[in-house]
Amino acid sequence: MNTQTTAPRARGSFRINGLAYAALILTLFFGTIQVAQYAGLWSVSGKLTPDGAAVQLSGADPAEIKGWMTIESVVDAYHVDKAALYARFSIPAETPSSAALKDLEVVAPDFSITALRDWLIEQAAP
């Protein structure tokens, strides 16, 4: 009778050492992140481009508007009337134009970034 202490294992697969597996996981995960960073696919803030430059509103595409941007920056970039914007979204007159868009929903229930984008598209239409 065979009294082998190692079970038969040739089953179309190969054993992976646990430590090698751990090294593989860490290499794949953090290596991919490194490659992405080198390739420019890395930015941890909507305020900076992958090159580190400050994001500026071009005024060409309302989709680029983000919540951290201010009323003033939108008015300047899209050349819209500030009073009309305040009236359209029922923004209280005492709200400073330096307020961030993401904070407006609290003081103006009619306001949302999506609604603002739609309104800007309407304003730009001939």
Partner 1 sequence: MSSTVSPRTPPARARWRRPSLQTLRQFVQFGVVGFVVFIVGNQLVFGEAAASAEAFCPFGGLETLYSYLTGGRTIAHTHLSNLALFLAVAVTTIVARSAFCGWICPLGTIQEWTYAFSRWLQRRIPPLGRAMNALRKSLNPRAARGTAAGPTLGQRIDHGLSYGRYLVLAWIIGGTITYGSMVFRDYDPWSALLSLAELQLSVGTAVLAVSLITSLFVERAWCRYACPLGATISLMGRLSPVRIERVESACTSCGLCTQRCPMGIDVARADAITDLSCITCLRCVNECPRPEAIDLRLAIPGIHPAAAPAPTSGD
Size of the site for partner 1 (CB under 8 A): 44
Cβ within 8 Å of residue 81, ≥6 positions away: 75
Cβ proximity to partner 1: between 37 and 90 the closer is 37
- Measured N-to-C along each axis, helices 113-124 and 71-78 cross at an angle, to the nearest 10 degrees, of 20
Residue 58: what residue type? S
Q: How far is the CB of 4 from partner 1 (least distance, A)?
A: 6
Q: Write out the binding residues for partner 1, residues 69-98 only, by CB under 8 A.
A: none
Could you list the residues that contact partner 1 (CB under 8 A)?
1-16, 18-19, 21-22, 24-26, 28-30, 32-33, 36-37, 41-46, 50, 63-64, 66-68, 113-114
